[in-house]
């Protein structure tokens, strides 16, 4: 295998990190969770960056760390839900590796995110109704960008292990 670089993209809560971990346990690539990468490099949590510096500053930081992380080889990188959607990030992603979009319905995302809103400043504190409206509108905007991924995988009702295997089959063809 030669200089493999795989990017997992998709909405918050679509399982990018869990699937990335499973995948790198199966094949011998390193795993990078891009949110963790940003937090380590910045020395602050994402919630703190949003709170103290605002989303706009976060997006600028995210773009500059993306430029850094795309230079690493033999790795699976699970990106933040918004990463592909700002600046020319999606173009950088697609030029530097293989991208896979983990697609999930709004209803599933709402269910999953209701349990995991903390640490996610964009949705922290929302109730089920607010969350559904927010995701519907936000996903509508983001979907055309996510759809530019080299591969799209329907992630409904599949375990992280199943998804990891499907992804590996897709990209190793
Ligand atoms: C965001 C998604 C988060 C994180 C930040 C913003 C987004 O990553 O980067 O809170 O804009 O969708 P996850 O998709 O890993 O939750």
Determine which residue's CA is closest to atom 15 belonging to ligand 1. 80
Query: Which atom number of ligand 1 is nearest to the Cα of residue 14?
Result: 14
Contact 163, 25 (CB under 8 A): no
- Distance, in Å, from the CA atom of 157 to the CA atom of 147, rounded to the nearest integer, reads 20
Condensed to tens digits (0 to 9), the pLDDT of residues 15-65 reads 999 999 999 999 989 999 999 999 999 999 999 999 999 999 999 999 999
- Residue 1: pLDDT band (50, 70, 90) is low
From the CB of 33, is ligand 1 less than 6 Å away? no
Exposure string for 8-27, b = 16+ CB within 10 A, e = fewer: bbbbbbbbbbbbbbbbbeeb
Centroid of ligand 1 to alpha carbon of 1 (angstroms): 30
Average the pLDDT over 54-80 and give the result: 98
Average the pLDDT over 132-148 and give the result: 98
Give the number of other CB atoms < 10 A from CB of residue 31.
Answer: 18
Does this model's pTM top 0.75? yes
Domains belonging to the chain, first-starting first, are 5-155 (3.40.50.300)
């Amino acid at each position: 295998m030669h200089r493999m670089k795989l990017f997992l993209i998709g909405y918050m809560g679509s399982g990018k990190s869990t699937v990335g971990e499973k995948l790198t346990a199966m094949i011998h690539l390193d795993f990078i969770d891009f949110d963790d990468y940003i937090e380590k490099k910045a020395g602050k949590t994402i919630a703190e960056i949003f709170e103290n510096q605002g989303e706009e500053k976060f997006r600028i930081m995210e773009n500059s760390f993306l430029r850094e992380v795309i230079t690493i080889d033999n790795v699976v990188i699970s990106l933040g839900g918004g990463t592909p959607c700002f600046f020319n990030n999606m173009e950088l992603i697609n030029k530097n590796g293989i991208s896979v979009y983990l697609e999930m319905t709004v209803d599933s995302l709402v269910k999953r995110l209701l349990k995991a809103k903390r640490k996610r400043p964009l949705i922290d504190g929302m109730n089920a109704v607010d969350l559904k409206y927010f995701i519907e509108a936000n996903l509508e905007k983001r979907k055309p960008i996510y759809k530019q991924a080299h591969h799209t995988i329907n992630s409904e009702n599949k375990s992280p292990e199943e998804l990891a295997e499907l992804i590996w089959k897709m990209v190793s063809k």
